Structure 1
Amino acid sequence: MTKISITPVTSKRERKAFIELPFRLYAEDPYWVPPLKGEALGLITPEKNGWFSHAKAQLFLAYRDGRVVGRISAHIDTLALEMPAASGFGPGVGQWGLMDAEGEDVFFALLDRAESWLREQGMTRALGPISMSIWEEPGLLIEGFDQAPTVMMGHHSPVYRAWIEAAGYKPVKQLRTYELDITRMFPPIVQRIIRSGENNPRIVVRKVDKRRFDEEAAIILEILNDAWSDNWGFVPLTPPEIKDVGVKLKPIVFNDLIRIAELDGRPVAFMITLPDLNEAIRPLNGKLLPFGWAKLLLWLRKPRVTTMRVPLMGVRKELQSSRLASQLAFMMIEAIRQASVANYGASRGEIGWILEDNQGMNSIATTIGSRINKVYQIYEDSL
């Protein structure tokens, strides 16, 4: 068989080849959702992704007979290096991700090159796949191949798991998503908890105000970085990242789908829900031209979707061991559930990802009648 060559991505043409490879490899996968090529290119372009303000990455392409047959990223997050080792990251921990390959031999060649680059940078342990920030698309899909991913979630070939494990990598953490029928009322016990909260004058659950986008985003960021700080894999979100994510997500931010809970006038919890943009972009095959932009713009004016995704929810750490934490969560979930059905025609919700050992969030998800629909796995190995 012809030799595989691995080369670093250094040019605009090579970056384009990097984002176009999955379009060929997943062309026959009915559940893969083609990303908008401009968004995919922005992810790997330092000038367009605030994550690069505290991270660096090297992309690689695999060639055989002059044809691109694989890709991978190797990257180092300086904020992750500062985290305690118990958090999953810490000193000496690099990552790899954005991996796709035509065959096992291609994968092994790519992984070897990514690991070599990490060693050259002084790393001693690797986590993967993480594409590329922990806040973007972490983990390899290992369960739930029969459903298309929702917005900002990954989809992978089922053969990759065996390849990664054959390379000596061991599972370190699982991330779960839950689905539920949001047209149905929650169980009576949840309804009683919600009514109790609604009768408590100290509690206010309000919509965000998109006209004050930056101010509301700052409130949510402050709660998020506090609420998630003890979670495995936590790396604080930074203002440059929030700015770029805000530009990317602002078109699908709607006041009634994002709630902030206040206790005695102080913001203490939040919940972000997004209409599943993948339902709108899937038919575009990655292209906004010539007519895709018009179709997407029309959809964005008044989305009608089947699925709503809850990517982020958080309650301040000081309240997390109290009964109030779950009460606030149920109140926000119910308010958004009602808005999702009434205003957007949604019938299905997806919550996640949630760490396998996050007992509080897993309990909330099961209490409202959700079931696990997808599982993603992060692996580790020494370098």
Structure 2
Amino acid sequence: MYIKETSDIKEFVDFQYRLLKKNPNFIGDLKSAAEFLLSDAHPFWETAEKKLFLAISNDQIVGRIAGILNHKYNEFQRENTAFFGFFDCINDTEVASLLFAAAEKWAVEKKCNKIVGPANPSSNYSFGLLVENFDEPNVIMMPYNPPYYIELIEGNGYVKEKDLYAFKWVYDKELFRRLAPVVERINKSNKSIRIETVDIKNLSKAFEDVKAVYNKAWENNWGFVPMTDGEIEQMAREIKPILKKEYVFFARDGEKPVAFCLMLGDMNIALKKLTGRITPFNVLPFLYNYFFKIKSGRLLALGVNKEYRGRGIEVMMILEAIKNAKKLGWDWGELSWTLEDNFKINKTIEKFGGKVYKKYRLYSKVI
């Protein structure tokens, strides 16, 4: 058995699908999207670098890992931290140890003193290891892994750095009736604030407004790294084909955007039929599921500018999200992710019926 560096992104990506294809709860992205994310053409790598490693046994790939150095993160957080990501492995402690040793050696060579992960490749993308609830599929843009990954990571000296929560929300009419007086008071105290859905025909303006809120609203969060203009523009290109006006909305004070929310229908329900690539044999089941079977979604970003917090605008945004989810015919939604110690937002979500149903973990190790 040995570790090799690779620049073959296709074989690096394919391994995850081969390893997990029999797991009924694993849903992967389109392989073309996964390959592009790891290619130098993706704007993330304009301010970051990577090294891809494969574990080989009997001429077969049995594991993979990426070492990641995010220069923008270290500059923003004033750290010398490396990340590991895109970790997948057979259930073998020796294979895992060799993979982590390779990533750590590379990180040390880059003069880092700590390694954190899994980050695929940062907190703005797929982030964390699933550690609770392996019996439900991952929703759009969230990771999935088998339970044994926990032992493989912790067995190599990694300890918990931070947990992330995913909430499940199911509409409860009676709960909203009881909360009506609270909602009325919040609306009266924010008369200058209006909620505005995105203009699908003018997405460039919408994502300018996203830029104006996103980096400012999240700048004090643990693990945060600002997205570059190129990353935000790439995100806009990727979600544009599936975007509906109900998915993106802003809170405005006059014309100034002070909060925004991004929701997406759970495309994973349709992607499940593809196993990574569209073929003549799976395109019809994919289209059927896409048009008729998506009855849930994910609220993946909700941010309020610091100077507007504490006024209940978060509540106004959550209510708008719920209203839009009902309009879209969703039976339930996932709100993810939040930091375990973001007590205020977690309490707000719980007040409106959300319950933590999955947990993800970031691990760290001093090197």
CA shift, 1:291, in A, is 5.0
Which segment is superposed worse, 99-108 or 182-191?
182-191
Corresponding position of 1:341: 326
Structure 1 residue runs of 4+, over 6 Å off?
Answer: none
- Is 1:276 aligned with 2:252? no
**2:350 is the alignment partner of 1:369:** no
The answer to whether the 8 A contact 1:210-1:255 is kept is yes
CA–CA distance in 2 between the matches of 1:20 and 1:39?
12
Give the match's secondary structure for 2:67.
strand
CA contact (8 A) 1:54 1:79 kept: yes
Match of 1:168 among 147, 152, 157: 157
Amino acid at match of 1:54: T
1:9 aligns with 6
Amino acid paired to 2:251: A
Q: CA deviation at 1:294?
A: 5.9
- Work out the CA distance in 1 between the residues paired with 2:173 and 2:237: 34
* Secondary structure of residue in 1 paired with 2:76: coil
TM-score (norm 1): 0.90
How far apart are residue 303 of structure 1 and its match? 6.3
Cα distance change on mapping 1:97 and 1:34 into 2, 3 Å: same
Cα offset for 1:308?
1.3
Aligned with 1:283: secondary structure? coil
Matches within 5 A, 1:299-338: 304-320=293-309, 322=310, 324=311, 327-338=312-323
Q: 1:191 to 1:50 in 2, by over 3 A?
A: farther
Whether 1:147 and 2:131 are equivalent positions in the alignment is: no
Aligned to 2:209: 219
CA contact (8 A) 2:86 2:119 kept: yes
Query: What CA distance in whole angstroms lies between the structure 1 residues aligned with 2:139 and 2:351?
Result: 22
For residues 54 and 208 of structure 2, the distance between their equivalents in structure 1, rounded to whole angstroms, comes to: 38
Matched, 1:380 2:361: no
Tell me what 1:40 maps to: 34
Question: Secondary structure of 2:164's partner?
Answer: strand
Matched letter for residue 60 of structure 1: F
- Look up the match of 2:85: 97
Deviation at 1:193, TM superposition (A): 3.3
Question: Any residues of structure 2 matched to 1:54-65 within 5 Å, and which?
Answer: 54-65=47-58
- 1:222-233 equivalences under 5 Å are 222-233=212-223
Please say if residues 183 and 348 of structure 1, whose CA atoms lie closer than 8 Å, have aligned partners that are also in contact.
no
Letter in 1 for 2:320: A
1:122 and 2:111 equivalent? yes
Once the two structures are superposed, residues 151-172 of structure 1 have per-residue CA deviations (whole angstroms, 9 ceiling, x without a partner) of: 0000011011112111111111
C-alpha separation in 1, matches of 2:140 and 2:63: 24
What CA distance in whole angstroms lies between the structure 1 residues aligned with 2:270 and 2:215?
31
* Contact 1:51-1:133 within 8 A present in 2 as well: no
CA RMSD of aligned residues (A): 1.8
Report the number of matched residues. Answer: 365
Quick one: which of 254, 257, 261 aligns to 2:251? Answer: 261
**1:112 and 2:106 matched:** no
Letter in 1 for 2:236: G
Gaps in structure 2 of 5+ consecutive residues: none
Judge conservation of contact 1:73–1:97 (CA < 8 Å) in 2: yes
Aligned match of 2:71:
78
Q: Is the 8 A contact 1:273 1:310 kept in 2?
A: yes
In structure 2, the residue matched to 1:87 is none
Query: Identity percentage over the alignment?
Result: 28
Asked if 1:24 is matched to 2:18, the reply is yes
CA contact (8 A) 1:70 1:107 kept: yes
Shift of 1:91: 2.5
Distance 2:101 2:66 in 1: 12
**Stretch of structure 1 that moved more, 131-140 or 226-235:** 131-140
CA drift at 1:191 = 2.6
SS at 2:273 equivalent? helix
After TM superposition, the structure 1 stretch with the greater mean CA deviation from structure 2, 240-249 or 186-195, is 186-195
* Alpha-carbon contact 2:115-2:364 (below 8 Å) kept: yes
